[in-house]
Amino acid sequence: MSEARLFKPRFNPAKPVFNIIVFLLYLFLLAPLIIVFVVSFASNQYLSFPPEGFTLKWYQALPSETIFVEGMKVSLIVAVFVTVVVLAIGVPAALALQRFEFKSKAAMEAFFLSPLLTPSIVLALGMVLLFGPLNLNNTYTGIIIGHVAITIPFVIRTTIMSLATADTSCEDAARILGAGPWTVFRRVTLPIIRPGVIAGGVIAFIVSFDEAVISLFVAESGLPTLPVQVLRYVENSADAAVAALSVILILISLAVVVVVERVMGLRKALN
C-alpha cells in the first residue's frame, strides 16, 4: 500500500452539514430581498406573493410618482451635505483621538460613539424637543444635524482603523524634511488613510439616505425624505411600485459599494 493511500484523509460528514447550514442562513437573510425583487415584476394589483404574472409597469410608473421624486431630491441633498459635514468633523476628531492623549479622551470617545448605542426613537424624540424652540423642525438644517449625529461614529471608526494601521515613518520623514503639519496631513497622512475616509463617507451617505425614524420625527410634515415618502405611500396604496423602487435603491447601493471596493479598497478599510 502506497504512502498516499495510507494517509488519505477520511470523509468528514461535518463539512457538508456545515455548508448546508451556511447556505440556509444566507437564504434566510436574503429571502426578504429575493421576495421584494420577485414582487417588483409581479402583475398583481396589490403587494402579494406569489406573483400572478410578469410585468414592468411598476418600474415604468416610478417617474410619474411625484412623491418618490420629491423624496429622492430631499434625501440626496441631505445625504450629500451630511457626508461633507461628517467628513469635515469626523476625520480631525479621529486623528485627535488616535494620535493624542488628553484628560477627556475617554469622554470624547464615548460622546462621539454614543449614537450607536442610543435607540433612534430616543434620539428622534430628543431632537424634536430641542429643535422646536429653535425653529429647526421641517428644515434642511434640522435634518442634516440629526443625520450628522447618527453617521459621524461610522466615519470616526473607519478613520481610526486606518490610522491605527498606518505607517508613521513617512510622516516623520516629511516633518524632518521641513513640511508643516497641514502639508504632512494633506500630502502624507490623508493618502494613507484614504480607504478608511472613503469607507466612512460611503457608509454615512447610505445611512443618511436610508434614515427614516429621525426624518419622520424632525421633518415629516415639511421636508419628507424618501423613506418617509415610502411610508406614506404604503399607508395609502398597496401596489408593487414601492417594491420596484426598493429594488432600484438596493442595486444602486450595491453598485456604489462594489465600485468603492474596486477603486479604494473598502474591504481593507473595514478590516
Q: What is the tens place of the pLDDT at every residue in 95-152? A: 888 887 878 888 888 888 888 888 888 888 888 888 888 888 888 888 999 999 999 9
Is 90 exceeded by the pLDDT of residue 39?
Answer: no
Average pLDDT value over all residues in the chain: 82
pTM for the full predicted model: 0.81
Higher-pLDDT residue of 213 and 46 is: 213
- E strands in the chain: none
Most confident of 6-10, 28-32, 168-172: 28-32
How many residues comprise the chain? Answer: 271
Highest mean pLDDT among 160-164, 180-184, 245-249: 245-249
| DSSP H/E element including 225 | none
Per-residue pLDDT tens digits for 9-33: 666 667 777 888 888 898 888 888 8
Looking at residue 1, its pLDDT comes to 47
Mean pLDDT over residues 211-232, rounded? 84
- What is the tens place of the pLDDT at every residue in 59-74? 888 888 888 888 899 9
